[in-house]
Amino acid sequence: MLISKIFFFILIIGASMINQVNANVYEFSFTSIDGKIIKLSDFKGKPIVIINTASLCGFTNQYSGVEKLFKNYAHKDLTIIAVPSNDFGNQELSSNKEVKEFCTTNFNTSFLLTEITHIKGDNGHPFFNWVKKEAGFLAFPKWNFYKYLINREGELVSWYASTTKPTDTKIIKNIEKLILDK
């Protein structure tokens, strides 16, 4: 019995270590709201925050906090990428042009925006499937404005649900830790 428990423990630890060594975001890319490719590998060595968003959601006012984060930490290598999606409650505008105009007009956004992107289902973006694999079912977006912190090595280090504001103390502390980890 003890030997089987030890074997199971070693198997779990070994699988986790392999997963950590081989898994990072640098294999993924998004298409920007302007149609250009955003390769996450271009941000190697920088902390990244990726957020799934929607323009007509009850959490849309979080764009202000996201912009504040970006303004406060962009000069310290922080990259923020917002991923608009219509997958949760059909709360996104109908075109990339409308999304861009909405974000710049209402929130003066200056961080990266992707095109409207599928997150769930068979056509879901591979990044979000990777999140589910790395952090489990609970980390996969259940609604708009889930936030994902990626360290300088491209590893998912924490995630936050929609109800956690971008300027929440937990997020700020983790971003500052990532910035200091050089």
CA distances from residue 3 to 9, 10, 19, 27, 155 in whole angstroms, order as listed = 10, 10, 24, 38, 33
Query: In the beta sheet, which residues pair with residue 79?
Result: 48
CA atoms within 13 A on the CB side of 149: 19
Question: Catalytic: which of 57, 112, 131, 171?
Answer: 57
CB-based contacts of 35: which residues, under 8 Å, 6+ apart? 96, 115
Backbone angles phi, psi at 68, to 5 degrees: -60, -45
Q: Indicate if 57 belongs to the active site.
A: yes
- Can you tell me the distance from the alpha carbon of 50 to that of 121, in angstroms, rounded to the nearest whole number? 19
Euclidean distance between CA atoms 170 and 28, whole angstroms:
26
Round to the nearest angstrom and report the end-to-end CA distance of the chain. Answer: 44
Enzyme catalytic residues:
57
